[in-house]
Amino acid sequence: MFGTYSDLPGKVAVVTGGSRGIGARTAQGLAAQGVRVCVVGRDENALDAVVTEIGEAGGSAFAAVADTTSAEDLAAVAAVVDDRYGPVDVLAAFAGGQGAPISSTALSEQRWREVLDSDLTSAFLTIRTFLPGMVERGSGSIITMSSAAGRQPSRANLAYGVAKAGVVMLTRHLATEIGPHGVRVNAIAPSSTSTEKVVANMPAEVRTQIEASHPLRRLGTTTDVAETAVFLASAASSYLTGLVIDVAGGRVTN
């Protein structure tokens, strides 16, 4: 259940990684506030399903198929958004993924580069695409996706943890640099979240163990994370920038 933010109706948002999971739920949450949303991802069918669901709920959204590690693809998305909706007020740079755990000794250079491209370079390129317009207008909210893995080391997660730690510093550096221009940059760092993929692939005994490692004794939901994103998009967070919010059930402090 999302709160209501009176400043959001009519604004324009771009959500990358929007075809499923946290990105899809964030797109839905923003649209429910009256935000016009461009949902970006690589899976056209999944994107269309998200857009259809938003439309059936009375929201406004369209899909843009793009690879967020490609500056050219992102420039094309920006042009389409500007043509259809106008200037972007909210950017949720959520594309990325963890992939299968792999030990540091088995981690190949190719896999290392793939993870950093997917989770860190994509965030940088996405922000670089939309930031100039926000700076020119003197307003905007940028939300990045870090992870508990980028806040606390864990086994068999080196590349992902480093990439997500990089997202934290990307967020803080940008917040410091562009704050004087009226643009805010904040990060969300979820712990284990019960997305469809996690539910389908996680054995019951593993889920029980992970839940027990959280002080709140449950996995997070996509709505838990999306509600935080919607809050950061709104004027209710107007004095927050450079912040990393651990939506992690207390796990990072445990």
Higher pLDDT, 220 or 48: 48
Q: Which residues pair with 249 in a beta bridge?
A: none
pLDDT value for 153: 81
Asked if the structure places residue 173 within a domain, the reply is yes
Minimum mean pLDDT range among 46-60, 93-107, 213-227: 213-227
Best CA proximity match to 142, nearest among 150, 153, 154, 130: 130
Residue 91 confidence (pLDDT):
99
Q: Tell me which amino acid residue 240 is.
A: L
* Percent of the chain whose pLDDT exceeds 70: 87
Q: How confident is the model at residue 254 (pLDDT cuts 50, 70, 90)?
A: very low
Residue 6 lies in a domain: no
The DSSP result for 3-45, as a single string, is ---TT-TT-EEEEESTTSHHHHHHHHHHHHTT-EEEEEES-HH
Average pLDDT, the chain: 91
Asked if residue 3 belongs to a domain, the reply is: no
| Residue range 240-245: mean pLDDT, rounded | 97
Tens of pLDDT, residue by residue over 52-77, are 999 999 999 999 999 999 999 999 99
N residues, the chain: 254
Q: Helix count (H) and strand count (E) of the chain?
A: 9, 7
Closest CA to 147 of 132, 166, 134: 166
Q: Tell me what pLDDT residue 100 has.
A: 78
User: Which CATH number does the domain housing residue 113 bear?
Assistant: 3.40.50.720
Confidence of residue 102 (pLDDT cuts 50, 70, 90): confident
Both tokens of residue 216? 């709140």
> Within a domain: residue 254?
no
The residues that are catalytic are: 160
pLDDT exceeds 80 at position 219: no
Torsion of CA 38, 226, 114, 249, to 10 degrees: 180
155-207 residue pLDDT tens: 778 999 999 999 999 999 999 999 999 999 999 999 776 566 655 566 677 66
Residue 33 belongs to domain spanning? 12-248
Mean pLDDT of 221-250: 93
Asked whether residue 60 is domain-assigned, the answer is yes
Question: How much is the pLDDT for 169?
Answer: 98
The answer to whether residue 100 sits within a structural domain is yes
Structural domain total, the chain: 1
In a domain, 239, yes or no: yes
Q: Which amino acid is at 205?
A: E
Q: Which of 171, 126, 130 is closest to 150 using CA atoms?
A: 171
According to the model, what pLDDT value does residue 245 have? 95
Give CA–CA dist 64/83, Å, rounded.
13
Q: Is residue 7 part of a domain?
A: no
What local confidence, expressed as pLDDT, does residue 154 receive? Answer: 77
